[in-house]
Structure 1
Amino acid sequence: MSAPSPFRRWIAPVLALTLACVGAAAQAQPYPAKPIRLVIPFGAGGITDMAGRLIGQALGEELKQQVVIDNRPGAGGSIAAQAVAQAQPDGYTLLLGTVGTQVVNKMIYARLGYDPAALTPVSLVSNSPYVLAVAGLGGVKDLPALAAYAKKNPGTLNFGSAGNGSSPHLGLELFKLATHSDILHVPFKSGAEAVNAALGGQVQIVIDAIPVIQPQAKAGKLRMLAIAADHRNPAVPDLPTSKEQGLGEFQIGSWNALLAPPGTPPAQVALVDEALARALKRPALVARLAELGIEPLPTGAAAYGKHLRAETEKWTRVVRAAGTKVD
C-alpha cells in the first residue's frame, strides 16, 4: 500500500480542527439561540391565556428571542404540566403554572402524571383576583347579605364554576367555609358557560376573573358583590374587597408562575428570571395588565417558594373540608 500523499496528511488534521471549532462555536451560542415555547394549561381566551400572551411577548422582547404560545388545556392543567415535566431541560420549554398545576391537582386527582415539586421554579408572574357576582337575587348587595340569605335558605342557592376542582369552584368552597353556608355547586366546562348559566337563571352565583364578570355587570345582567382580595383593584376601583366586608379569609385569584423542566440549568433559569423582572416593570405592559385586573407579582424563586407554601396550607384545608376529588 502506498504512503498517504503530503496533501492528505495535511488536510486531515486541519479538517478535524475546523469541525472542532464549529462544534465549540455552536455550543458557545448564547442562550436563548432559538424560540422559547411557553406552555399554557388552558385554552385561548381565558384569563391565564391573556396573561401568558401579554407577558410572553414582553419576555421575548427582553430575551431578544420569540416566545411561542402553546395552549395545552385539559385535566385542570395536568396535561400541560406533564408535557413540560417530560420536556428537555434546555431552557427552551416553560410552563405558565397555576394554583391547579402546582398545588390543587395533587390533592384532588387519584393519579397525576407529573410531580409538581420536581418542576424547576423560575418565578411568580401575576395574579388575577376574582370577583363574586350574583344574578336574580334582588336584595343581595354584599357578601354579608349573601351569607345571610344562604343561611336562611340552605341548599336553595346554586353556584356555577369552570369545573370540579377549578379555581372558581374552590373559591366558592372557601366562601362556604368562611360563612358556614350551604350552597350547591354546579360544574360547567368553562367559566364562560358558568356565566351564561347565571344569565339564564340556572345558577345564582358565579366567581371568576374581572374580564369574565365585568362586561355582564356593566350590562346590568350580573351584580358584582366583592373582589376576593385584601386590596381594591384599579380595573374595578369602586368594588369593595372581601376584607372590607368582614371576610378577609375569602381571597381567591388566578395566579401564575413560570416553571421549567426538572434539571434546567441554573444559569438559564436566572436569565429568564431577570428578563421577566424587567418585563414586568415595562409601563405599557403594566398598564395593559391593569386594564384586565391582572397584578404583577414579586419575581424570583424565593418569592415563589414562600407563596407556594402559603397556598398549599390554604387549599389543603379547603379541599379537605369540601371533599373534592376527581377520578
Structure 2
Amino acid sequence: MTLTKRCLAAVFIALCSTATGVVQTAAAADANYPNKPIRLIIPFGAGGITDVAGRMIGQYLGEALSQQVIIDNRPGAGGSIAAQALVGAKPDGYTLLLGTVGTQVVNKMLYSKLSYDPAAMTPVSLVSNSPYVIAINGIDGVDDLQGLVRYAKANPGRLNFGSAGNGSSPHLGIELFKLATQTDIVHVPFKSGAEAVNAAVGGQVNIVIDALPVIDPQAKAQRLKILAIAAAERSPAAPNLKTSVEQGLPQFQIGSWNALVAPKGTPDAVVDVLNKALATALKRPELMARLTDMGIETLPTGVAAYQQHVASETAKWTKVIQTAGTRLD
C-alpha cells in the first residue's frame, strides 16, 4: 500500500471512529433521558384554560418521568412568541411546547410573515381539548342553536359577538358558525376572552364563545344563556347541555385543544419516552377527575393521532379563514 493510500485509510478509520463515538454518545444520552428538569412553554399567561390544563398535565407528566416539569409562560402574538422560543431551543427533549390550534395550524394562515414554521417542530402527541360553548344575552325568544339561526337570518347584521381579538379561537369559532349557517353577525374584538364575556354579561354584545369553565359561572348566575356545547358528545361537566351535533349543526365544533411538541430534530427515542409518560399521566384517575370537572377531555396520544388531527384542523380552518378574509398583518 502506498503512503497516500495508507494516509487515506487512516483518515477514513479515524472518521468512522469519531462518527461511532458521536452515535454512541447520543444513544447514551437518549438512554438516560430525562436526567434533569424539563421546561414546558405555554403560549398564554397564567390563569387561562391553556395555562391551567398545562400546569396540571405538566405536574403528572413530571411524576411519570420522575423529573420536574417547569412551566414557562410566554404569552403574545397568538402563541408565536412561545413557538419561536421552542424552535430556537436545543432538540434534546428538555424544552417542550404546549401547542394550540394557533401555534400549530391557524397562525400560518393569519400572518404572511410568521416568525417560525410549525413544520420546524417535532410532534409528540395530542394532549387535551376543552370544547367551547356558545352563550347569548339579550336575544328574546332564543333558546337553542336553531332559534339563534332563525333570529340571525331574520335580522341580518343586527346581532354581534365578542371575542378575545381578531384571529382568536372564539373569533374563528363564530366565523365557523356563520359559515355553517350562512348568517350575518358582526364581530366586536376585545383584548381578552374575559373582556368579551364581561361585555356579553353587560349587554354590549349578544353572543360569546369560550370554554365551559369561563362561561358556566355566568350561566349559573343567569347572566348568560348557554345554547350548546360545540362538540360531538356531551360534557360530563355539563351533561344536560345539548351538543351542536344534537341540534343539527355538526359542522359547528370547536374547542381549545393542546398538543405536546418539541424542537425539530428531537430523537425518536426521546419522543417515545415522552409519549409513554404522557399516556401514563393521562390515565391517572386524579388527573382525569380534575380535568373532567373543568370540562377538559383527554385526546388520543401518539404522533399519528397528532398528525391526523392537525390535517383535519388545517382543512377546516383554511376554509373558514379564507371565507372570512381574516388577516393579522
Q: TM-score, normalised by structure 2?
A: 0.90
Residue 123 in structure 1 maps to residue 118 in structure 2: no
Aligned to 1:16: none
1:252 and 2:251 correspond: no
Question: Given the alignment, which residue of 68, 75, 78 partners 1:76?
Answer: 78
Deviation at 1:201? 1.2
Could you say which residue in structure 2 is the equivalent of 1:34? 36
CA shift, 1:27, in A, is 5.4
The question of whether the paired residues in 1 share the 8 Å contact of 2:163 and 2:189 is answered with yes
Aligned amino acid, residue 144 of structure 2: D
Query: What's 1:294 paired with?
Result: 296
Matches within 5 A, 1:166-205: 166-205=168-207
Instruction: Kindly indicate whether the alpha-carbon contact (under 8 Å) linking 2:30 and 2:269 is maintained by their aligned counterparts in 1.
Output: no
Match of 1:305 in 2: 307
In the alignment, which of 276, 285, 299 is matched to residue 287 of structure 2? Answer: 285
Deviations 1:52-73, CA, capped at 9 Å, x for gaps: 0110000000000000111111
> Who is 1:150 aligned against?
152
Q: Which amino acid aligns with 1:302?
A: A
1:192-271 matched pairs, under 5 angstroms: 192-271=194-273
Report the CA distance shift for 1:231/1:29 in structure 2 as closer, same or farther (over 3 A).
Answer: closer
**1:30 Cα deviation (Å)?**
1.6
Which letter maps to 2:303?
A
Match of 2:97 among 95, 98, 103: 95
> What's the C-alpha RMSD, in Å, of the aligned pairs?
1.4
Could you tell me the percent identity over the aligned residues? Answer: 72
Residue 116 of structure 1 aligns to a residue whose secondary structure is coil
Q: Measure how far apart 1:29 and its partner are.
A: 7.6
Alignment deviations for residues 4-60 of structure 1 (CA, whole Å, 9 cap, x no partner): xxxxxxxxxxxxxxxxxxx99x95882111110000001111111111011000000
Equivalent residue letter for 1:82: Q
- Matched with 2:166 is 164
Letter paired with 2:99:
G
3-state SS in 1 of match to 2:128: strand
Q: CA deviation at 1:123?
A: 0.3
How far apart, in 1, do the equivalents of 2:267 and 2:89 lie?
Answer: 13
Counterpart of 1:18 in structure 2 is none
Q: Which runs of 4+ in 1 moved over 2 A?
A: 26-29
The Cα offsets for residues 238-293 of structure 1, whole Å up to 9 and x where unpaired, read as 00000010001100001100000111111111101100000000111001100000
Q: What number of residue pairs does the alignment pair up?
A: 304
The 8 Å contact of residues 30 and 270 in structure 2, kept in 1 or not, is answered as no
Cα distance in 2 for partners of 1:117, 1:169 equals 25
- Equivalence for 1:65: 67
d(CA) in 1 for partners of 2:297, 2:304: 19
Alpha-carbon distance in structure 2 between the residues aligned to 1:229 and 1:133: 14
Q: What SS does the corresponding residue of 1:122 show, helix, strand or coil?
A: strand
| 2:109 counterpart residue number | 107
Point out where structure 2 has 5 or more consecutive residues left out of the alignment.
1-24
